[in-house]
Amino acid sequence: MSQLNRLARGGRIDRSRKLSFTFNGKRYQGHAGDTLASALLANGIDIVNRSFKYSRPRGIVAAGAEEPNAVVQLGKTEAGQVPNVRATQQALFDGLEARSTNGWPNVQRDLMSVIGKLGGQFMPPGFYYKTFMAPASLWMTYEKYIRKSAGLGRSPMENDPDIYDHLHQHCDVLVVGAGPAGLAAALTAARSGARVLLCDEQEEMGGSLLDTRELLDDKPADQWVAEVLQELDDLDNVTLLPRTTANGYHDHHFVTLHERRTEHLADTAPLKGGRRQVRSRMHRVRAGRVVLATGAHERPLVYGNNDVPGNLLAGAVSTYVRRYGVVPGRKLVLSTSNDHAYRAALDWLESGREVVAIADARANPDGELVEQARALGIRIIAGAAVIEAKGESRVSGARVAKVDLDGFRVAGAAETLDCDTIASSGGYSPVIHLASHTGGRPTWRDDILGFVPTLVKGVSAAGGAQGVYATGEVLADGGDAGVRAAQEAGFEAAGVTLPQVEARRDGAACALYQVPHEKPTLRGPKQFVDLQNDVTAAGIEVATREGFESIEHVKRYTAMGFGTDQGKLGNINGMAIAARLLGRSIPEVGTTVFRPNYTPVTFGAIVGRHCRELFDSERYTAMHQWHVEHGAEFEDVGQWKRPWYFPRKVNGKTETMHESVARECRAVREAVGILDASTLGKIDIQGPDAREFLGRVYTNKWAKLAPGRVRYGLMCKDDGMVFDDGTTSCLGENHFLMTTTTGGAAGVLEWLELWHQTEWPELDVYFTSVTDHWATMTVTGPEARKLMSEITDIDLDKEAFKFMDWREGSVAGVPARVFRISFTGELAYEINVQANYALHVWETLFAHGDKYGLTPYGTETMHVLRAEKGFIIAGQDTDGSVTPEDLGMHWAVGYDKPFSWIGQRALTRPDTARTDRKQLVGLKPRDAKVVLEEGAQIVFDPKHAIPMPMVGHVTSSYYSPTLDSGFALAVVKGGQQKMGETVYLPMADGQVHEAEIVSPIFLDPKGERQNV
């Protein structure tokens, strides 16, 4: 396949290295150094996509991140699919496979173009909503086809084989963009010794210097680029990141950079030294100072059919010719409002192709470049512009006419020029996206006809990013910004000698956005403003006519600047058009807000290494391996993996959860079970005021708890609502060990510190987490004492070691603290040993426990057993709106404590004192076989018209093998006074369950079993 648009020489490509690739299934060839876009143009590919809404054929318009049309789907394999890649930003590699993202069935022959061709008036802004809104039930059907025809790339259906990661970077000066301003800034900052990070989104650093016609110190500009990059690369304090886009500028100079490390090499990351390498990487940069040297984007002119393939930005033409050795057509017409764009005509002519004419909207163009063009014999039509492109799948001509800019009208007869390429330039827009992310509203400058960024402290813009365009001035501006940034970061920086660039005399540009046409905008050929979202000048006119006057509303109504485009090409033109229609100035209309990300970021880079097995942190107890080996199913509790239940294999069949839990419950009630309770939070509390402190943060009394004793405690917030509970043991007069719920551990410790540090610093007490130091195993059931007696030297006599006592001794040869507390209602010993010994102790218990039927149980059984006893779980039976009294736990409230403990005052507020608050009760389903749904709503009268007054909900519900019945805990309005009454639970499927309100204590109300 021939590269018919490839020049024989010139450009930065390596003609000796041929690379083959496919586009939409066809094979082509390009060279090393090409982007996919330059290779497509070299091969004369005009149509790269179908447009989003009207399905019009589209070609490549730009050469960089602002490209709106050439958005392609990459990937050879299903797993390697990457959507929404700009062909202008994708380096060519051998074997690259790309497809158009839009166009169904294909880009050449597209179904939707029929609808599109029916004419613009059929598809005004809001077309889909207006057209397919009725009947609503059919939207789902319409949507499927609309989405398919619109397309926007697709995600892979198989797992991505590549790896991604994050790197946390810190630097004194971050320079974004390595064009002339960025390189000068980085160089000056780097020489001061500051830590400098320089990133650039392109394959090569150098920016405009890679395709400029200008000389630096009388040498080609790329020589200086190479010298500077070499110096920077040699410095230890500099990190260079090519192929790295600064996508988001967040608070306090936190900038996210997306580095594409292997995207230029292959479809999936090749091995390096036999090892996998990271495909793309997110750099999370915390910078001291930031220099935005992001340059400027050229604005296209908005004229009729300006979307037909063959319409390009003037600067893009120069870039393709000078950097890639590609001239994307034969006969050029240039339409411009400024001098700079003349480069395109000069470059075109130098590559041996014909420049038909330059339509310059200014009456008397007279800059140096204009003179050059004139001297070369190029026809210049002053005071004129291309008003309409001819052709469908490729430009075939340009209609040029004199235009009256002030009157917004065509001022003379149009002349049709024969050409296949129209380059246009309406001036330049500083790339202000990143500055905009920081919240600064940009400022319009009439002298440069563009918005410049409003900058927060610590960030500066340099060069094109703030409207400085002449190369010599850009270098100086960058150098100054680098010096300032380094100085502000605390380094002694001085200016460096930058190369001399011959100053060029440029004529003033004129303001031209939408080009007038003979016909009114609504009836003339489509004039595209936002090519990616198919927003036309007519669409903006409709929007303003329909009353959308705020630019933010116009944006949302028309979709201008949406999606991956983020208004790079179209926004200023759109605002200018809206401003003209509304009779306001551009600054009065203002600009919309740019948001991260600047260009799309692959999910892989966002996720980094936080996926698959490393998706979240997992916490294991010291007995975790034993649980795994014994077939435990696990439940997530906070970050902990806790055994949920231990299914056994019976006759080759694995028990269901229901069967396992029933067996585990019976073992605890009838023999002995063991639970890994290591996950409970444990806080070591020391200090002479420890006891006083406990009295203030717990609802109950602590003044008289003696060493050797344990007490249950309830914690409230100052609004009187329960938020955690647990037992606290008195280890010494000034020494306590507090336990918290598994999920509440960190929060409770922070809570204690909050009160100590901010309210009661005079109390002498320290809190230290010892959760991980101790492993905890609960041995519980009628046989627990016998089992324990085999492996401990602690006197287990029921008088010597009572319920709610703790003792110290040896268990299985290991120093242990044993607590006689019970969450099952059975005789129970909680053994605490240093975690490194835990597995030994656990296994020793099993070595001795077989004869007693020792059974491991998990959290599900624990829940059933505690619920049978009416023991609450904070966070399950409470939800931040439940007081101790609502729980019926008056016994745990010390109303007469001297200090007004946290929560006390709130308990007498009118709302907390109400008698019809939702109160904790037990529910006994009338049908014992029913296990009520947790969360089910409760009503008093099931015959009440909908909406029924809901009076509470089920908080915990299980089947109890001991009671042989379903049972539940619930909160019910005024429930404590409604014992024996019937409530109803209407379910989504129409069933209504009936249940009796009973005491929440279903088993052993006197607590005799735990006291044996």
Cβ 814 to another protein, closest distance in Å? 6
Which is nearer to another protein, 439 or 495 (by Cβ)? Answer: 439
Kindly state whether residue 545 participates in binding another protein, applying the rule CB under 8 A. Answer: no
SS3 579: helix
Could you give the angle at the alpha carbon of 916 between the alpha carbons of 913 and 920, nearest 5°?
95
* Euclidean distance between CA atoms 712 and 821, whole angstroms: 9
User: How many Cα neighbours within 13 Å face the side chain of 613?
Assistant: 1
Which is nearer to another protein, 193 or 220 (by Cβ)? Answer: 193
Name 969's bridge partners. Answer: 922, 956
SS3 564: coil
**Cα-based torsion angle of the residue sequence 405, 386, 42, 27 in order, rounded to the nearest 10 degrees:** 110
Which is nearer to another protein, 199 or 378 (by Cβ)? Answer: 199
Among 166-174, 206-214, 361-369, 914-922, the segment contacting another protein (CB under 8 A): 166-174
Out of 111, 906, 939, 998, point to the residue binding another protein (CB under 8 A). Answer: 906
Out of 104, 128, 132, 620, point to the residue binding another protein (CB under 8 A). Answer: 620
State which of positions 456-485 bind another protein (CB under 8 A): 456-457
State which of positions 254-313 bind another protein (CB under 8 A): 254, 272-273, 275-278, 284, 286
* Euclidean distance between CA atoms 533 and 52, whole angstroms: 6
DSSP classification of residue 299: P
Which is nearer to another protein, 277 or 597 (by Cβ)? Answer: 277
The structure tokens listed for 916 are 């019809």
Which is nearer to another protein, 764 or 1004 (by Cβ)? Answer: 764
Which is nearer to another protein, 768 or 977 (by Cβ)? Answer: 768
* Euclidean distance between CA atoms 88 and 85, whole angstroms: 9
Among 352-360, 663-671, 884-892, 900-908, the segment contacting another protein (CB under 8 A): 900-908
Number of residues forming the site for another protein (CB under 8 A): 90
Which is nearer to another protein, 906 or 948 (by Cβ)? Answer: 906
Kindly state whether residue 621 participates in binding another protein, applying the rule CB under 8 A. Answer: yes
Binding mask 345-364 for another protein (x = CB under 8 A): --------------------
Which is nearer to another protein, 492 or 618 (by Cβ)? Answer: 618
Which is nearer to another protein, 51 or 729 (by Cβ)? Answer: 729
Q: Do 728 and 714 meet the contact criterion of CB atoms below 8 Å apart?
A: no
Kindly state whether residue 793 participates in binding another protein, applying the rule CB under 8 A. Answer: no
* Euclidean distance between CA atoms 387 and 400, whole angstroms: 6
Report the b/e string of 345-379 with b at 16+ CB within 10 A. Answer: bbbbbebebebbbbbbbbeebebebbeebeeeebe
Which is nearer to another protein, 145 or 766 (by Cβ)? Answer: 766
Cβ 485 to another protein, closest distance in Å? 16
Kindly state whether residue 770 participates in binding another protein, applying the rule CB under 8 A. Answer: yes
State which of positions 422-461 bind another protein (CB under 8 A): 439, 456-457
Beta strands 428-430 and 296-298, pairing class: antiparallel
Among 12-20, 311-319, 367-375, 807-815, the segment contacting another protein (CB under 8 A): 807-815
Q: Do 71 and 85 meet the contact criterion of CB atoms below 8 Å apart?
A: yes
Cβ 704 to another protein, closest distance in Å? 15
Taking the CA atoms of 946, 947, 949 and 953 in sequence, report the sign of the dihedral they define.
Answer: positive
Out of 369, 529, 731, 971, point to the residue binding another protein (CB under 8 A). Answer: 731
Binding mask 737-766 for another protein (x = CB under 8 A): ---------x---x--xx--xxx-xx-x-x
Cβ 435 to another protein, closest distance in Å? 13
Binding mask 622-641 for another protein (x = CB under 8 A): x-xx-------------xx-
State which of positions 815-844 bind another protein (CB under 8 A): 815, 817, 833-840
Residues 6 or more apart whose CB falls under 8 angstroms from that of 644 comprise 632, 633, 634, 635, 657, 858, 859, 860
Kindly state whether residue 768 participates in binding another protein, applying the rule CB under 8 A. Answer: yes
Q: Do 485 and 193 meet the contact criterion of CB atoms below 8 Å apart?
A: no
Out of 504, 584, 619, 897, point to the residue binding another protein (CB under 8 A). Answer: 619
Q: Per residue, what are the HEC states of 756-821?
A: HHHCCCCCCCEEEECCCCEEEEEEECCCHHHHHHHHECCCCCCCCCCCCEEEEEEECCEEEEEECC
State which of positions 109-148 bind another protein (CB under 8 A): none
Cβ 840 to another protein, closest distance in Å? 5
Which is nearer to another protein, 171 or 515 (by Cβ)? Answer: 171
State which of positions 695-724 bind another protein (CB under 8 A): 707, 718-719
Cβ 849 to another protein, closest distance in Å? 18
Kindly state whether residue 895 participates in binding another protein, applying the rule CB under 8 A. Answer: no
Phi, psi of 93 (to 5 degrees): -135, 165
Q: Do 221 and 330 meet the contact criterion of CB atoms below 8 Å apart?
A: no
Out of 614, 800, 950, 992, point to the residue binding another protein (CB under 8 A). Answer: 614
Q: Do 226 and 197 meet the contact criterion of CB atoms below 8 Å apart?
A: no
Out of 44, 631, 687, 853, point to the residue binding another protein (CB under 8 A). Answer: 687
The structure tokens listed for 667 are 């073992």
Among 151-159, 347-355, 575-583, 609-617, the segment contacting another protein (CB under 8 A): 609-617
Out of 154, 905, 914, 926, point to the residue binding another protein (CB under 8 A). Answer: 905
Kindly state whether residue 597 participates in binding another protein, applying the rule CB under 8 A. Answer: no
Q: Do 643 and 634 meet the contact criterion of CB atoms below 8 Å apart?
A: yes
Among 138-146, 349-357, 427-435, 678-686, the segment contacting another protein (CB under 8 A): 678-686
* Euclidean distance between CA atoms 725 and 866, whole angstroms: 14
User: Where in 639-791 does DSSP place strands (E)?
Assistant: 640-645, 649-650, 653-654, 673-676, 681-686, 710-716, 722-732, 735-740, 766-769, 774-780
Report the b/e string of 161-200 with b at 16+ CB within 10 A. Answer: ebbbbbeebebbbbbbbbbbbbbbbbbbbbbbebbbbbbb
* Euclidean distance between CA atoms 826 and 804, whole angstroms: 13
Cβ 624 to another protein, closest distance in Å? 6
Out of 152, 167, 380, 582, point to the residue binding another protein (CB under 8 A). Answer: 167
Out of 684, 783, 877, 886, point to the residue binding another protein (CB under 8 A). Answer: 684
Cβ burial of 638 (10 Å; 0-12, 13-18, 19+) is middle
Single-letter code of the amino acid located at 218: D
Which is nearer to another protein, 421 or 621 (by Cβ)? Answer: 621
Cβ 900 to another protein, closest distance in Å? 4
Which is nearer to another protein, 141 or 768 (by Cβ)? Answer: 768
Kindly state whether residue 686 participates in binding another protein, applying the rule CB under 8 A. Answer: yes
Residues 6 or more apart whose CB falls under 8 angstroms from that of 163 comprise 269, 276, 277, 278, 279, 609
State which of positions 188-247 bind another protein (CB under 8 A): 195
Beta strands 828-834 and 774-780, pairing class: antiparallel
Kindly state whether residue 732 participates in binding another protein, applying the rule CB under 8 A. Answer: yes
* Euclidean distance between CA atoms 465 and 443, whole angstroms: 12
State which of positions 840-879 bind another protein (CB under 8 A): 840
Which is nearer to another protein, 303 or 837 (by Cβ)? Answer: 837
User: Where in 622-719 does DSSP place strands (E)?
Assistant: 633-637, 640-645, 649-650, 653-654, 673-676, 681-686, 710-716
Q: Is the peptide bond prior to 105 cis by the omega test (within 30 degrees of 0)?
A: yes
Among 645-653, 664-672, 904-912, 965-973, the segment contacting another protein (CB under 8 A): 904-912
Single-letter code of the amino acid located at 663: R
Cβ 757 to another protein, closest distance in Å? 5
